[in-house]
Structure 1
Amino acid sequence: MRRPAKLAIIGEALTFIGVSALVIGAALFTVALEQGDWPASSVGSLAVAFVGIALIVVGAALSRAGRAELRPRSLEPHKVPERVAAHSDAG
Structure 2
Amino acid sequence: MSGQSKFDEHADLVQKMAEALGIDLTEAMMAGNWTPEDMQATVKRCLGCTDPAHCKGWLTDNAAGSEETPGYCRNKDLLEAMRVRLTPAS
TM superposition score normalised by structure 1: 0.28
TM superposition score normalised by structure 2: 0.28
